[in-house]
Amino acid sequence: MTTEELLHQYRSVYYSFPQSLKTFLGTLYGSIPLSVRFGKHYDIHTKVIHKFENSSEQFKLDFMYNKTLETLLFAEKNIPYYKNIFNAYGVSSDSYKSLDDIKLFPVLTKNDIKKNIDNIYTDKFERAVSYYSGGSLSTPTKYFLPNSSRAKEKAYNNYIFSKIGYKYRDRTLLLKGRDVADLEKNIFWEYEPIDNYFLLSNNYLSSCKFPLMYQKAQEFKPKYIFGYPSAVLSFIKQLKFNNLQKLDIQGIILASETVYPDELQMMQEYFEVDVLTHYGHTERNAIAYRINNKKYDFLNSYGLVRVNDYELITTTFDNFVMPFINYKSGDSVSGDAVYYDNTDILSRVDNIEGRTQDFLVTEDERLISITTMCGGQHLLLESTDVIQYIQNEKGQVTVLVEGQNVNKKKVKEGMQKLVKNGIDFHIKTVEKIEKTHRGKRVICKQSLDIEKIRTK
């Protein structure tokens, strides 16, 4: 077990320390090279990234073929679920002769994982770490990943962030993650010295505490902002509302939420810097990024990424605990795509639109992407950009709008025009739309089974 793996288990204890002790210990630990903290896997993956990204297309195709074969061999030998389902489908690793042959193997869904969780992973070769993520119908799905996956993730993220000049431990304002507010002490921020982050509480960005939070952030003098799109937008909105000077930063990194075109444009124009959007997911099967409004670039040494019916289908590399084979990610793509020659392996794509559950369903079962709704909402909502869609039955959607000065009739008519009158919208104004415990927005609460509707 590496130092990072050991200490990560006790991070809650570290967070409870007084700031002075955290600063001392965190600065000391943060100064240790990542190759020491994360062990050999960090260096291995760093070298793989650079080798792959600077090689010929034939090298990349061979690499992906061999890593996929490695995953198949491991799965059929060590994972009971795959042994059984491969037999049922009449396939084996011997059936895999080319990249295209991955289509012969069955797909894996979140429901498959939930039903077979005890037979779909092994801890014989590496310590299995449990993770949870939201899935269809808002039911969390449990996964097991190898301990070393954190080292791999760190290597790939550092490579991606470097695309806009970021160097590990550059001073960064963090607008994502755990809440750091202490009401009794009137503190709504925290310095995290390990990664050199200054965290602000997302839950208080829109409160009267913002000027004080801004002052502390300004004193920190960050070079970058790293956060949820919704939090960065709230930060900009409060700067304008309070007539405060914008921070002198060099770039913005967005993660964990879908960012919409109008939002991206607002950030670029306001700060006049490059905005890097990071794509990843809890399962750690695929990773991609884009700069400003360019296409998303997938790092294909990370995992195999295909598209079927606009949905990302992924297969893991380097996962010797719970491999994912032809996994239906639940994330959809749109626009022009670039594939490797003579394959359906995705290299680049215009847009990643988030979960397939982030669709609204009309009365006649047409699916309307939330991206479509968010692209038009700025024309309808002049006093707020915070909304949430809730759907429990076809053709009926409740829209929560944060704020009071909202023309409900105008909003309803505009939204119905966007969906060509296929949905009856019920507009409700609320004082505050709640976020997750980590400060993420939930723009769509969809109770209908979108996957079932899509495959009818």
- Would you say residue 293 has pLDDT above 70? yes
Residue 309 CA to its chain's centroid (Å): 21
My answer on whether 301 and 331 are in the same domain is: yes
Confidence of residue 455 (pLDDT cuts 50, 70, 90): low
Confidence of residue 233 (pLDDT cuts 50, 70, 90): confident
Q: What is the pLDDT of residues 54-102, one digit of tens each?
A: 999 999 999 999 999 999 999 999 999 999 999 999 999 999 999 999 9
Which residues constitute the domain of residue 400?
A: 359-454
Report yes or no on 233 lying in a domain: no
My answer on whether 346 and 434 are in the same domain is: no
Confidence of residue 377 (pLDDT cuts 50, 70, 90): low
The number of folded domains in the chain is 3
Report yes or no on 192 lying in a domain: no
Report yes or no on 176 lying in a domain: no
Report yes or no on 114 lying in a domain: yes
How far is 400 from 388, CA to CA, in rounded Å? 5
Report yes or no on 199 lying in a domain: no
For 33, the token pair is 């090279």
Given 320, 335, 354, the domain boundary residue is 354
My answer on whether 10 and 94 are in the same domain is: no
Neighbours of 291 (CB within 10 A): 16
My answer on whether 149 and 25 are in the same domain is: no
My answer on whether 120 and 266 are in the same domain is: yes
- Would you say residue 243 has pLDDT above 70? yes
Return the axis-axis angle of helices 57-78 and 80-89, rounded to nearest 10°: 100
My answer on whether 149 and 278 are in the same domain is: yes
Mean pLDDT for 369-386 is 56
Confidence of residue 437 (pLDDT cuts 50, 70, 90): low
Report yes or no on 326 lying in a domain: yes
Report yes or no on 305 lying in a domain: yes
Q: Cβ(235)–Cβ(225) under 8 Å?
A: yes
Q: Cα separations (Å) of 437 from 122, 176, 179, 285, 442?
A: 31, 11, 7, 25, 11
Given 354, 371, 392, the domain boundary residue is 354
My answer on whether 48 and 129 are in the same domain is: yes
Return the axis-axis angle of helices 408-418 and 370-377, rounded to nearest 10°: 140
pLDDT at 324 (0 to 100): 97
How far is 91 from 83, CA to CA, in rounded Å? 10
Beta bridge partners of 351: 334
Q: What is the pLDDT of residues 17-63, one digit of tens each?
A: 888 998 998 899 999 999 999 999 999 999 999 999 999 999 999 99
Q: What is the pLDDT of residues 125-165, one digit of tens each?
A: 999 988 877 543 345 688 999 999 999 999 999 999 999 99
Give the CATH number of the domain where residue 88 resides: 3.40.50.12780
- Would you say residue 265 has pLDDT above 80? yes
My answer on whether 268 and 318 are in the same domain is: yes
Give the CATH number of the domain where residue 394 resides: 3.30.300.30
pLDDT at 272 (0 to 100): 96
Higher pLDDT, 1 or 398: 398
Given 331, 354, 377, the domain boundary residue is 354
What mean pLDDT is reported for the chain? 88
Report yes or no on 210 lying in a domain: no
- Would you say residue 383 has pLDDT above 50? no
Q: Cβ(266)–Cβ(236) under 8 Å?
A: yes
How far is 424 from 394, CA to CA, in rounded Å? 9
My answer on whether 274 and 421 are in the same domain is: no
133-137 — which CB contacts under 8 Å span 24+ positions?
133/281, 133/282, 133/283, 135/110, 135/330, 135/357, 136/110, 136/111, 136/330, 136/356, 136/357, 136/449, 136/450, 136/451, 137/357, 137/447, 137/449
